[in-house]
Structure 1
Amino acid sequence: MEISVGHTPDSDDAFMFYGMFTGKVPSPDFKVNHVIEDIEKLNRKATDPQLDVTAVSVHACAYIPGYTILRSGGSFGIGYGPIVTARKQMSIDEIKKCKIAIPGKMTSAFLLLQLMIGKFDYVEMNFSDIPEAVKSGKVDAGLVIHETQLSYEQEGNVKILDVGEWWDKTTNGLPVPLGINVMKTDLGMETIHKFDKYLQASIEYGLENMDDALEYAMQYSRGKPRDLIEKFVKMYVNKVTVNMGDAGEESIRKVFEMAKEKGLVPDFELSIATK
């Protein structure tokens, strides 16, 4: 079966798909055509289902009824996640009055920050442009994701909020639900399960062949040094990535329960692949 698979130009996604896309982990069931797009573009593409399988933000699941969440391939923070940076420290009241750059309205980081501080003034931009926009004063603060969570000090900014830490404390240690992979529901649960296992095998292969998988992932390093990319990959390709388990599923359900209570997402039915 020929299927289209979308992932982001990010080192953690590349690491997960290394085994699959290089043929190191073959499949008798699938021939994969991969499409690489920024996460917010994939989120928007998924609202009008174009790809059979795609990476999306957890937040996007409120708007893509035609997809089922896979149990493998998720990006979950374990006590860490998105942060907010600025040129100087601020009080929470000052932060609420800021214009904050966000990496997209459908990103999980945006939803989590709204849950943390309430609604705020924002401007959307590509996540990689946010650090410079903060440093130059184009915006008051920036909601930072991906490897820029680790490089903000080198970029001349300071951390003023830790969204991942807030989630960890608020939920008594549930993993921070950020990104997941979804598959078209109408392909059927048998096909979904088969692909889920295939993706899981690719992730496990990467973890077992760390150096080679990291070398492959470095093509999406965006000029960051290998040690920083290795740290980032090891943060977001973890045990919950291999299989979200009960904790990962609970964290996804929890974020939408909280978001529905605050009117931040529409009422919808969540579809997660069975165990």
Structure 2
Amino acid sequence: MTALSLGYSPCPNDTFIFCAMIQGRIPDAPRCREVLEDIETLNTLARKRRLDLTKISFHALGHLRDHYVLLRSGGALGTGCGPLVVAREPLRPEMLRGRKIALPGRLTTAALLLRLFDPGLDQLVYLPFDQIMPACQRGDVDAGVIIHESRFTFAEHGLSQVIDLGAWWEEETGHPIPLGGILARRDLGGAMHDRLNRSIRSSIEFAYAHPDDVKPYIRRHAQEMDESVMQQHIDLYVNQYSLQYGNDGEAAIRDLFARAERAGILPTSQRSLFE
């Protein structure tokens, strides 16, 4: 069988999840070829149907349901792990209207949460996620939505938190925050979808059981990230929902889609969301 193209980011949570699977340590896992890109690039590749399975933002999934299904393992949901709006000058959330706000891509879940929080925010610009804090520092933008390891370091860059979009979502809905999931091509079929779910769960379990075996792979792709920040990243974004969404995780995802469809941000679809 030809290797499946598997897209995920070089961020520690993704490399932690997929290391064992991509290195052939999971006996029943299908052979996969890694495609390491930032989340917005993965969103774009999936829209072009260039990947067999991939990490994706839930926002992007709303435009891909004809050709992809959501697997039940490998995703990023949780509490206290959502995108943050930060600014150089202290701002209150209601002061964001009319100000230029940087987002890490049009189809990121961060962009979706910001639009759900306040549909009246219309001065939006899109930058690679690692350029958002520097743009805020320089005053190129008035505020920025940050994700990934930036959550842990923004104060060191002289920035202040305006609002935690994840905390807003949790308070508004009572659900964990759906950030990203793993998609597989619909035409791979149910048997392969089940095999992929099992393989991803086994890969996560391997990483927890053998952290020293996966750490070199994680570190190699984490660039200059401090070891403690790398571990914080894993602890925050890899949890029981990564193993399997369960009823509460699936309810959170369905609620996100329902709200986005009612707001006209996502198109409605008759296609099943999950495999």
Both structures adopt the same fold (TM-score exceeding 0.5)? yes
Aligned to 1:4: 5
Aligned to 1:37: 37
Q: Distance in 2 between matches of 1:200 and 1:270?
A: 25
Counterparts of residues 1-275 of structure 1 (less than 5 Å):
1=1, 2-27=3-28, 30-64=30-64, 65-120=66-121, 121-172=123-174, 174-269=175-270, 271-273=272-274
Q: Distance in 2 between matches of 1:219 and 1:109?
A: 26
Verify the 8 A CA contact 1:101 1:123 in the aligned structure 2: yes
Verify the 8 A CA contact 1:189 1:273 in the aligned structure 2: no
Cα offset, 1:270, TM superposition: 5.1
TM-score by length of 1: 0.94
1:84–1:214 distance in 2 versus 1, CA, 3 Å: farther
Look up the equivalent residue of 1:126 and give its one-letter code.
Answer: P
3-state SS in 1 of match to 2:34: strand
1:255–1:38 distance in 2 versus 1, CA, 3 Å: same
Superposed CA offset, 1:42-68 (max 9, x none): 111111211111111011111112001
Q: Distance in 2 between matches of 1:212 and 1:75?
A: 22
Cα offset, 1:260, TM superposition: 1.3
Q: Distance in 2 between matches of 1:88 and 1:210?
A: 40
Look up the equivalent residue of 2:57 and give its one-letter code.
Answer: S
Look up the equivalent residue of 2:43 and give its one-letter code.
Answer: N
Q: What RMSD in Å do the two structures reach over aligned CA positions?
A: 1.4
* Paired residue total: 272
Cα offset, 1:79, TM superposition: 3.3
Verify the 8 A CA contact 1:70 1:272 in the aligned structure 2: no
3-state SS in 2 of match to 1:266: coil
Superposed CA offset, 1:166-217 (max 9, x none): 0111111x11011111000011111111111111110111122234333421
TM-score by length of 2: 0.94
3-state SS in 1 of match to 2:202: helix
Verify the 8 A CA contact 2:58 2:178 in the aligned structure 1: yes
Verify the 8 A CA contact 2:81 2:237 in the aligned structure 1: no
Q: Distance in 1 between matches of 2:271 and 2:154?
A: 35
Q: Distance in 1 between matches of 2:84 and 2:258?
A: 22
Verify the 8 A CA contact 1:61 1:270 in the aligned structure 2: no
Q: Distance in 2 between matches of 1:204 and 1:175?
A: 22
1:258–1:114 distance in 2 versus 1, CA, 3 Å: same
Identical columns (%): 34
Q: Distance in 2 between matches of 1:141 and 1:222?
A: 26
Verify the 8 A CA contact 2:22 2:31 in the aligned structure 1: no
Look up the equivalent residue of 2:40 and give its one-letter code.
Answer: E
3-state SS in 2 of match to 1:160: strand
Cα offset, 1:261, TM superposition: 1.3
Unaligned runs of 5+ in 1: none
